[in-house]
Amino acid sequence: MAPRPDSGFVYFVGAGPGDPELLTLRAFRLLRTADAILHDDLVSKEILACANPDATIENVGKRCGFRGISQEDINERMIEFAQCGLKVARLKGGDPSIFGRLAEEIAALAQAEISFEIVPGITAASAAAAAAKIPLTSRKSSSQLIFLTGHRAGGAPIEIPLPTTRDSTIAVYMPALEYKELAERFLAAGWPINTPCLVVSTASQSSQQILAGNLGDLRFRQRLPSPAVLILGNVVTGTRFAATNPAAACSFQGQS
Ligand code: SAH
């Protein structure tokens, strides 16, 4: 593709947690009109089905898509399309600004002098809380919300927040560790054994599953399928969840 003088434009589009009903209108419209769509693995096939049928669609996800693709390759691809004058949708799961390597991609576009816009999406923690029918904060019991990643660049260990106040909610994305190890890390940091927590897998999708219990129980549970997010804190207390698939919903309280 030969670069054209009328440089294109990149939209970082949040695809939300998987259910197309949870796309923003702007995300939907951009999907319908983009010339090129570069998407991550977590973007569901139902969402890709909303795309412009004439668009060039590439999976640049690092898990099961384009194996071996590096961040530099993704940046290059995005820039190459934009320099051909195309309208590019860089489609990321959830909200593009949360654990989505947005910083690297913005830096690459800035260097190539390509304009961009960020279209926010519904992040996994919000979708998980909605699935479990709980709030993420509460005036009475949760005054702060921490988004934590279980997976850091270079495999650096995650820093578990200290329970300095008991009124925080922690959402752990990419809980890479076994639940036992993760729960033990929280316990070692001083979190009480009865701290309520839940895990939501594939929130908003037909395969959605929810486990609810406390940190003590969590040590004995098997992992739910990826992607899954762990929510921990008082807001989880008294959850009255209804999974999309009721057979898949279960509580692990008292089952250890
Ligand atoms: N930008 C995304 C997060 C990307 S990191 C967002 O805002 O949601 C990828 C992690 O997000 C997964 O490992 C998982 O922890 C979480 N995640 C993404 N989609 C999810 C879903 N539908 N259900 C549960 N967790 C999800």
DSSP H or E segment with residue 72: helix 71-83
Q: What pLDDT is stored for residue 67 in this prediction?
A: 60
How far, in Å, from the CA of 151 to the mean position of ligand 1? Answer: 12
- Identify which of 173, 255, 243, 174 has the alpha carbon closest to the alpha carbon of residue 219: 255
How far, in Å, from the CA of 227 to the mean position of ligand 1? Answer: 6
Q: What pLDDT is stored for residue 121 in this prediction?
A: 98
Pocket of ligand 1 (CB under 6 A): 17-18, 42, 92-95, 98-100, 123-124, 127-128, 173-174, 200-204, 226-229
Q: What pLDDT is stored for residue 6 in this prediction?
A: 64
Backbone angles phi, psi at 207, to 5 degrees: -90, 5
Distance CA 252, CA 9 (A): 48
Q: What pLDDT is stored for residue 256 in this prediction?
A: 32
Burial (CB count <10 Å: 0-12, 13-18, 19+), residue 190: exposed
| Ligand 1 pocket mutation, candidates 229, 241, 245, criterion most atoms within 8 A of CB | 229
Q: What pLDDT is stored for residue 1 in this prediction?
A: 52
- Identify which of 11, 17, 173, 193 has the alpha carbon closest to the alpha carbon of residue 87: 11
Q: What pLDDT is stored for residue 63 in this prediction?
A: 63
- Beta bridge mates, 171: 147, 231
DSSP 8-state symbol, 162? P
pTM for the predicted model, two decimal places: 0.90
Number of residues written out for the chain: 256
Residue numbers of the chain with a pLDDT score lower than 50:
2-4, 64-65, 241-250, 253-256
